[in-house]
């Protein structure tokens, strides 16, 4: 006899509906799973058998073959346990095979018969619904997450026995407790308010310009100047995520197991701040088995903040080039490549020197000039080439008044972004930071460009720096509602790149 049901496997964020087919034949008792199973699928055999026994259902003493198709698809992780159990028992005639065929099941089985939560339920259920499978059974601990997918009819399963019972089996549905989804370290809250940043007019302006034009930002200043405080407030002045982006961002966080489903879809641009001692896998993604998304992907559509950026290993900084260029990261695995989105706004913070005291006259700094030069030079090259804004952040004065709040700044950013979008959309761009150099030079007036050419002639600006300043000038003009950059916009753009060459 043959039993069938469906499940989903993920490669990266992409869910594929798989047909789980079980065949029970006469012969010596055996249990084989075919269809490119990896090591964790082999372990599934033991889990499935134990869970069925714990549910008070007899395991068929026959030759059982389970096939997961399409066979060409690499399959990973324990998410297909529940489907395998149902397909086998449908083939054995223990459960109603016709009703099982309509089901799509996700979940790992515990040896005690409980259904354990799995990662990535949101993208998996989204793929199921897109393929027309709207009736989904998921672990009870993931039910809140699965219901975030529009169009899904979700059933949360605490134990295998309940699922089998609902399909007509005579299973012992003992009162087992639900296995909760893993606790999330950080609960979601609104980003902190910009009003809490006192003084710092230059840095505040830089943050607003960065938000309006999608520009990457470097802040250099002594410890305690408030660089982290400023960076943490960038997501608050960025526009909220649209529906499609919110699902995508939530899916990445679901896959990383770092998401609180009770709070709904992630609507704020995320903020990720990996420490410089974090492993390369934690930052770019990877790890054994299922390749997990790293900080660059968790920061997708939001902000990646590297505090003390020169302290990061250069090989980690180098890996940021791919996502900065392509907006995604490709992780190469034994079974092929896994892609994750990784289009983030980069904010780098650095002390002016290793001891952090080289400010103003440099009094109190114990670093030699050579050590100082080498310190910031660790950031130079292709990475810094992509950072449009470089500002010095001085120590904050205590007497400074509280600044303007997040709401007012976010409103200006939204207006500037709308103006930029209207101009750039025909070219396929949405923010100034994406615009190409040749196009910008074509559409900018000769008078506005003249100031930049003079800076190039003086040797104060490189050709790349020219284009980057031009992008900034357009964002500045969007912020004050002008139609095209004037000379004073260009002058301010140059000031926002004062780190040039330093």
CB of 375 to Zn ion, least distance (A): 8
| Positive or negative torsion for Cα 484, 488, 492, 497 | positive
Rounded to 5 degrees, what are φ and ψ at 7? -145, -175
Cβ closest to Zn ion, residue 344 vs residue 358? 358
CB of 112 to Zn ion, least distance (A): 59
Q: Report the DSSP beta bridge partners of residue 64.
A: 24, 31
- Rounded to an integer, what distance in angstroms lies between the CA atom of residue 266 and that of residue 247? 8
Q: Report the DSSP beta bridge partners of residue 63.
A: 25, 30
CB of 371 to Zn ion, least distance (A): 7
118 binds Zn ion (CB under 5 A): no
- Determine the Cα angle at 315 with ends 259 and 307, to 5°: 55
Cβ closest to Zn ion, residue 36 vs residue 355? 355
CB of 367 to Zn ion, least distance (A): 3
- Rounded to an integer, what distance in angstroms lies between the CA atom of residue 446 and that of residue 249? 41
CB of 389 to Zn ion, least distance (A): 24
Cβ closest to Zn ion, residue 141 vs residue 352? 352
| Residues 175/185, Cβ–Cβ less than 8 Å | no
- Rounded to an integer, what distance in angstroms lies between the CA atom of residue 393 and that of residue 203? 6
CB of 230 to Zn ion, least distance (A): 22
Cβ closest to Zn ion, residue 340 vs residue 358? 358
Binders of Zn ion among 320-379, rule CB under 5 A?
353, 355, 357-358, 365, 367
Number of residues engaging Zn ion in binding (CB under 5 A): 6
CB of 231 to Zn ion, least distance (A): 22
Cβ closest to Zn ion, residue 335 vs residue 374? 374
- Rounded to an integer, what distance in angstroms lies between the CA atom of residue 408 and that of residue 431? 20
CB of 469 to Zn ion, least distance (A): 29
- Rounded to an integer, what distance in angstroms lies between the CA atom of residue 87 and that of residue 66? 8
How many residues appear in the chain?
502
Cβ closest to Zn ion, residue 245 vs residue 307? 307
Binding characters for Zn ion, 59-98, by CB under 5 A (x = yes) = ----------------------------------------
| Helix/strand/coil for 198 | strand
Cβ closest to Zn ion, residue 339 vs residue 374? 374
CB of 373 to Zn ion, least distance (A): 11
Binding characters for Zn ion, 146-185, by CB under 5 A (x = yes) = ----------------------------------------
- Rounded to an integer, what distance in angstroms lies between the CA atom of residue 363 and that of residue 244? 52
Beta-sheet strands, E only, within 58-163: 63-69, 104-105, 108-109, 115-116, 135-139, 153-157
Binding characters for Zn ion, 12-31, by CB under 5 A (x = yes) = --------------------
Q: What is the DSSP letter of 220?
A: E
Rounded to 5 degrees, what are φ and ψ at 447? -60, -40
Binders of Zn ion among 188-247, rule CB under 5 A?
none
CB of 377 to Zn ion, least distance (A): 14
Using alpha carbons, select from 407, 403, 406, 418 the residue that is nearest to residue 212: 418
Cβ closest to Zn ion, residue 112 vs residue 311? 311
Q: How many helices (H) and strands (E) does the chain have?
A: 21, 18
- Determine the Cα angle at 329 with ends 325 and 331, to 5°: 140
Question: In the numeric block, which tokens belong to residue 92?
Answer: 């054995």
Cβ closest to Zn ion, residue 355 vs residue 460? 355
Cβ closest to Zn ion, residue 50 vs residue 357? 357
**Which parts of this chain interact with Zn ion (CB under 5 A)?**
353, 355, 357-358, 365, 367
């Amino acid at each position: 006899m043959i039993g069938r049901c469906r499940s989903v496997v993920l490669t990266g964020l992409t869910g594929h509906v798989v047909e789980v087919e079980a065949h029970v034949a006469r012969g010596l008792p055996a249990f084989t799973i075919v269809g490119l199973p990896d090591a964790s699928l082999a372990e599934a055999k033991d889990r499935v058998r134990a869970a069925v026994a714990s549910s008070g259902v007899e395991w068929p003493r026959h030759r059982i073959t389970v096939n997961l198709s399409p066979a060409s698809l690499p399959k990973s992780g324990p998410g297909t346990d529940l489907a395998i159990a149902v397909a086998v028992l449908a083939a054995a005639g223990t459960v109603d095979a016709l009703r099982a065929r309509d089901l799509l099941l996700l979940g790992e089985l515990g040896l005690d018969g409980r259904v354990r939560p799995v990662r990535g339920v949101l993208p998996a259920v989204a793929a199921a619904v897109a393929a027309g499978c709207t009736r989904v059974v998921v672990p009870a601990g993931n039910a809140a997450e699965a219901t975030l997918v529009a169009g899904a009819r979700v059933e949360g399963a605490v134990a295998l026995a309940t699922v089998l019972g609902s399909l007509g089996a005579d299973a012992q549905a003992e009162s087992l407790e639900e296995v909760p989804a893993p606790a999330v370290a950080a609960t979601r809250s609104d980003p902190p308010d910009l009003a809490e940043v006192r003084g710092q007019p230059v840095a505040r302006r830089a943050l607003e310009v960065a938000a309006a034009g999608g520009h990457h930002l470097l802040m250099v200043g002594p410890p305690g100047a408030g660089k982290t405080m400023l960076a943490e407030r960038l997501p608050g002045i960025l526009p909220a995520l649209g529906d499609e982006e919110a699902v995508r961002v939530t899916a990445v966080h679901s896959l990383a197991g770092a998401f609180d489903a009770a709070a709904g879809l992630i609507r704020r641009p995320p903020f990720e701040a990996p420490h410089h001692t974090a492993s390369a896998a934690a930052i770019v993604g990877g790890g054994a088995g299922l390749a997990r998304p790293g900080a660059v992907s968790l920061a997708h559509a939001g902000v990646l903040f590297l505090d003390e950026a020169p302290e990061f290993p250069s090989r980690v900084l180098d890996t940021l080039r791919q996502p900065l260029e392509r907006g995604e990261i490709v992780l190469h695995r034994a079974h092929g490549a896994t892609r994750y989105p990784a289009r983030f706004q980069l904010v780098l913070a650095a002390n002016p020197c290793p001891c952090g005291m080289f400010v103003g006259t440099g009094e109190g700094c114990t670093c030699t000039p050579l050590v100082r030069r080498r310190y910031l030079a660790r950031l130079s090259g292709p990475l810094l080439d992509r950072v449009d804004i470089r500002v010095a952040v001085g120590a904050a004065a205590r007497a400074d008044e509280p600044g303007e709040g997040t709401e007012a700044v976010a409103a200006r950013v939204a207006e500037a972004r709308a103006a930029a979008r209207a101009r750039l959309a025909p070219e396929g761009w949405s923010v100034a930071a994406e615009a190409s150099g040749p196009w910008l030079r074509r559409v900018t007036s000769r008078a506005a460009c003249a100031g930049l050419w003079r800076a190039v002639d003086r040797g104060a600006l490189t050709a790349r720096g020219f284009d980057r300043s031009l992008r900034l000038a357009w964002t500045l003009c969007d912020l004050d509602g002008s139609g095209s950059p004037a000379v004073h916009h260009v002058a301010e753009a140059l000031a926002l790149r004062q780190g040039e060459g330093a």
